[in-house]
Amino acid sequence: MLTAEDFKEGKVLLIDKPLEWTSFQVVNKLRWHIRKRFGIKKIKVGHAGTLDPLATGLLILCTGKKTKSIEQYQAQIKEYTGTFVIGATTPSFDLETEINEHFSTDHITERLLHETTQQFTGTIQQKPPIFSAIKKDGKRLYELAREGKTTEIKSREVTVPVFEITNIDLPNIEFRIVCSKGTYIRSIANDYGKALNSGAHLSVLRRTKIGDFSVTDAQSIDEFIAVLSN
């Protein structure tokens, strides 16, 4: 049986984040239930790597003394699966914003789709999306974007050991990507579309692994609350 001391000493929780939840909402929900279950006023809970609200999958949460290990988990290699839509772009590079431009896909073949992935494997330079939580001059980039302000974003070096197309049903293509900390899959979608001489945006994203941790071992929020209540 779990005790308040277990959570204060520190636990690593694997949660399967649902669609449309922010990572912060998951942290708040679990913290509230832990406090309520054991009648404690304070307990540290943090997550090791943000997932966008439109993404699902593995979220590592640390409690108590284990929150000191968050950076260690954040630094580990990650695996994602999902879907790109070819032939259209959005300002946010995903479904957070409406399609702003359409492109021809007449020239796109299965061979081209597979060969173009090679441009995005290894160590690459990547510009984060303007709709991101990165701070510039004290403001989040997405705040500037929503105000209609443009800002110069510097490229950063990221590593992508694996980028493979797993299914093609144009305009939708499914993928698996293994990448380093700080890689934006939305940016890969946008850049991949350009490399195809077309356009692309991200429509589905699921984080399946962080280091040796897998989403197959994760609990839903409801499952965690049920175990906590026993």
Question: Among all residues, which ones are annotated catalytic?
Answer: 52
Residue matched to tokens 């399967």? 16
Strands 88-89, 135-136: pairing is unpaired
CA 154 – CA 152 distance, rounded (Å): 7
State how far Cα 52 lies from the chain centre.
5
Question: If 0-12 CB within 10 Å is exposed, 13-18 middle and 19+ buried, where does residue 34 land?
Answer: buried
Residue partners of 32: CB distance under 8 A and separation at least 6:
none
CA 133 – CA 143 distance, rounded (Å): 8
Residue matched to tokens 């990507």? 177
**DSSP H helix total and E strand total for the chain:** 7, 14
